[in-house]
Structure 1
Amino acid sequence: MAKQIDPNRDQYDLHAKVLGKTHGTLSMALTVNRQTVFLKYFSKIAVESETAYITERNALKLLGRVGLAPKLTAFSDDDQILIRQYVEGETLRDVVTAETVVCHSRAVGAWLKKCAQRAPSRPGSGNWFEYLTGYPDLRKSSAIGTSQQFLETFEINNFVLSQNTALLRDFVMSGQGPMSVKFARTRMKPAGWDLLLAARALVQLFPEQTDAITKALSDGYSSGTRATSDRYLTLIRLFVLGMVFETGRKVAPPPSHLALEAFNRRRKVKCDAVATSPFLTAKFRPQKKHVIEAFERHVLNLARQVKRSTNPDKLEPKPAPASSSQPPLELGALCRACQGNCCQMGVGKNAFIDRDAVYHVMKANPDKDVLQIAQTYLDFVPKSHVKDSCFFHAKKGCNLPREMRSDTCNRYTCGSAQRLLKTINARPPDGILCIAGTGSNFRKATRTRDGKIQNVPLGRLKIGQAAFRKSSDQTEGDS
């Protein structure tokens, strides 16, 4: 395998990392002399393994030529091994959140439109009513039945080589946007079939955003053409109604709710609400001297402006409620679990410290000159900070006292915090569980209890994650 990947070498430095396993496949990232490829092995013992291997091999050959699949670099029919280009990025299932699902849906719609235009195709005939009612799950669907006239007039003019999977782990969010990475179930399907499957998968995760998700998918797929977008929007929503919301169909509960159930199952003191947030991996790096020196000059300049003002009191802004009082305990728990994802916005912006912030510090310290004011800020700069985040971002959060922070930092609330505050205002919970991560990939958890914030071991949430994985039929994908 190493010889196939780098044929011009006699010696090889080879490293392998397992990315995923199923009952019939093994996927890994294989690095040979700093060149990384994706390797997939199809077990000869598993039923239908040979068919899956041949299907994916042929799909990679066909779609790779038109830029719709990673390039196939080597394969072995005897061993049922595929080696292809490695796609750097995270799977769509791991990155999509309630805040990003609409944006991701539009990007997926645009990608699937490109696939429908470039993939191998053949002329087709018939209409969507005939096609959809050919599936047992939709044969007795009231949504499909009551829309028979519309579906019969929506003709199927061509079939294209489609990914034919509704698993969001089969899409990788690369630097160029979404890309399909799994082709074992590839089939010739009506143009738009993959769009319907993507809608079903996204709506099952975020059913409360059904209208926004389906609208974004149709807009992306239709490239802004109003008439075409409206037709596909109607088709998508009928499919989702029949496959997700009608009798006998269950929407997979959010993984955070399953985690809350698992947490409460063995706890005497339970949490009656759950909140989710992003997660920032806290990797620390030493401060850069030139960055701190630039910040010192920035504060000195602001302090001199305040000092030179003939009427400094006119500079005083309206007091910021967030800076004059501590935030709710529940919000503190959420931010602790998140570890400061929003603090990354302070990079290159001098922690948002402006003239108003410096004015308040000078007013609180009337005996200090401008050099001493600047030193007051520098005294709170930690020796190391979270990588790719604000230089005040330390192990326990912001190293600056709240009264010295910018009004921007004190007032800002992310989407996760806004939803939590709405929950608190509607009905203050006795205890809240805060989970950071994406999907079921929980990275950190906290809870409130007896007026304090406590860290929660992730082991107490494992049952919830296992239940979610079982209900959502996930498989492996690129990492």
Structure 2
Amino acid sequence: MTGPFTIRDFTRAHGAYIARFAAQSRKSLERLDVSPISETEKHLRFRLEFPEDPVIVDVWSKEDPAAEQAFNRELTCARLLQGSALTASLLGHSQEKCLMLRGDVQGTPLNSVLSQDNVVAMSSSLGSWFQRFHQKMPQKEADMTWFSYLKNYPGLFEPEEYEREKAFLERLKIGAVSIARNDRIRGFLVSDRKTICAPGFQRAGYKPIGWDLLLATRDLVRQFPGQTDDIIAALLAGWGAKVPGLNPEDFIRLAKLFCVATVFRAYTPSAPLLRRYADAFNASREKGQGKITTVLSVPYKSDLQQDVQPQDVEAFRRHLQLVTTERGDMDRQITEDEIRNTDNPVPVLAAIGEYPKAWGNYAAIF
């Protein structure tokens, strides 16, 4: 297709073809309404409004090699999962047009229903989904360790962290890789039947078995840091089998290391919002307070201000202590005075105090 890559232009050019294609699995209609879902320069998604059973159409730009690769990954996973109820049913596809037709899954985005009360149950359901997904995916032999694999991600750990954890990570062997979804959990849907469904696999690729569990741990702990241990345990329980090459204790330790490295965003020149927080704090800090050099962002699920409950403050304090311990400062104790303004509605900017000199001073937004 030449010209603008938009839903409007694509349906104008190929509307009759798409309608005939979709009608192979639906009752043909003289007029078929189109509802846009999302539109980027590489990917279009829209709904064909068949009265009783809508069809979702995904189209990738053939002008972009990366988009065409995303289509191929999506198609591969959809074929492998056909009939599994793990994702929407594949109704048809066109390799020539990088186009897929799928059934419409009625459901609610997982992130909108997650709460402190149900996150453990949802973690178990996600672990079960990933295990069933894994069983459908092909594997390839591999010969590496988690140390050598994680070194492929520059900046994931500090150099001294790699050295400190080298013996542990080198002990964890990776004997096989399998296709992983390799994406955030925010795309998951909770269907009307309370089952979990994944709408897409554009980032799927061969990864060490258990990689999806690590990414899920990261996303869930970001939202509920005080329930880190319960989240990891529930994901493992949902998986229901040993993660190849990792006994439960090793996976728990690996997951916690991964969380420490990825859950918090460090203040850097490429994070202008966090830099403004640091600059604002440094400009107004009291005499004797150290200058903030790094900011950690602890995301919240909404921008609504709420009173901070004492149990939430205590859970957050325990989590900060855990992070400090994991980072190797075993003797550091966080005092009550170091968590400031906790009686005020969030968000507030708080100085956590002086960590080891290699860290500089830290602030947290919570």
Per the alignment, residue 103 of structure 2 pairs with 85
Per the alignment, residue 128 of structure 1 pairs with 146
Per the alignment, residue 212 of structure 1 pairs with 230
Q: Deviation at 1:184?
A: 1.0
Equivalents in 2 of 1:9, 1:164: separation in Å?
36
Q: Deviations over 1:238-296 (max 9, x none)?
A: 1111222485584452143x454xxxxxxxxxxxx4589xxxxxxxxxxxxxxxxxxxx
Q: What's the % identity of the aligned pairs? A: 27
Q: Deviation at 1:95?
A: 1.7
Equivalents in 1 of 2:248, 2:197: separation in Å?
22
Question: Cα 1:250–1:59, aligned 2, differ >3 Å: closer, same or farther?
Answer: farther
1:254 and 2:273 equivalent? no
Per the alignment, residue 346 of structure 1 pairs with none
Q: Deviations over 1:340-389 (max 9, x none)?
A: xxxxxxxxxxxxxxxxxxxxxxxxxxxxxxxxxxxxxxxxxxxxxxxxxx
Residue among 30, 42, 46 paired with 1:28? 46
Asked whether the equivalents of residues 222 and 229 of structure 1 are also in contact (C-alpha less than 8 Å), the reply is no
Return 5+ residue gaps in structure 1 as ranges: 261-272, 277-425, 434-479
Asked whether the equivalents of residues 14 and 33 of structure 1 are also in contact (C-alpha less than 8 Å), the reply is no
Q: Deviation at 1:180?
A: 2.1
Greater Rg over alpha carbons, structure: 1
Equivalents in 2 of 1:21, 1:252: separation in Å?
30
Equivalents in 1 of 2:141, 2:179: separation in Å?
12
Q: Deviation at 1:51?
A: 2.0
The code of the aligned residue for 1:54 comes to N
Per the alignment, residue 184 of structure 1 pairs with 202
**TM-score (normalizing by structure 1):** 0.50
Residue among 146, 151, 155 paired with 2:173? 155
Question: Cα 1:22–1:103, aligned 2, differ >3 Å: closer, same or farther?
Answer: farther
**TM-score (normalizing by structure 2):** 0.63
Question: Cα 1:173–1:228, aligned 2, differ >3 Å: closer, same or farther?
Answer: farther
Per the alignment, residue 402 of structure 1 pairs with none
Residue among 260, 279, 285 paired with 1:241? 260
Per the alignment, residue 58 of structure 1 pairs with 76
Q: Deviation at 1:178?
A: 1.8
Equivalents in 2 of 1:141, 1:180: separation in Å?
36
Equivalents in 2 of 1:236, 1:105: separation in Å?
14
Equivalents in 2 of 1:129, 1:10: separation in Å?
56
Asked whether the equivalents of residues 43 and 60 of structure 2 are also in contact (C-alpha less than 8 Å), the reply is yes
Asked whether the equivalents of residues 3 and 9 of structure 1 are also in contact (C-alpha less than 8 Å), the reply is no
User: Which structure carries more relative contact order (alpha carbon 8 Å, separation 6+)?
Assistant: 1
Per the alignment, residue 117 of structure 1 pairs with 135
1:18 and 2:36 equivalent? yes
Equivalents in 2 of 1:177, 1:231: separation in Å?
29
* SS of structure 2 residue aligned to 1:136: coil
Which deviates more, 80-89 or 135-144? 135-144
Asked whether the equivalents of residues 143 and 242 of structure 1 are also in contact (C-alpha less than 8 Å), the reply is no
Per the alignment, residue 188 of structure 2 pairs with 171
Per the alignment, residue 195 of structure 1 pairs with 213
Q: Deviation at 1:228?
A: 3.4
Q: Deviations over 1:309-358 (max 9, x none)?
A: xxxxxxxxxxxxxxxxxxxxxxxxxxxxxxxxxxxxxxxxxxxxxxxxxx
Residue among 112, 118, 123 paired with 1:105? 123
Q: Deviations over 1:81-101 (max 9, x none)?
A: 211122221121222122221
Q: Cα RMSD between the aligned structures?
A: 3.1
Equivalents in 1 of 2:27, 2:85: separation in Å?
29
Question: Cα 1:16–1:134, aligned 2, differ >3 Å: closer, same or farther?
Answer: same
* SS of structure 1 residue aligned to 2:68: helix
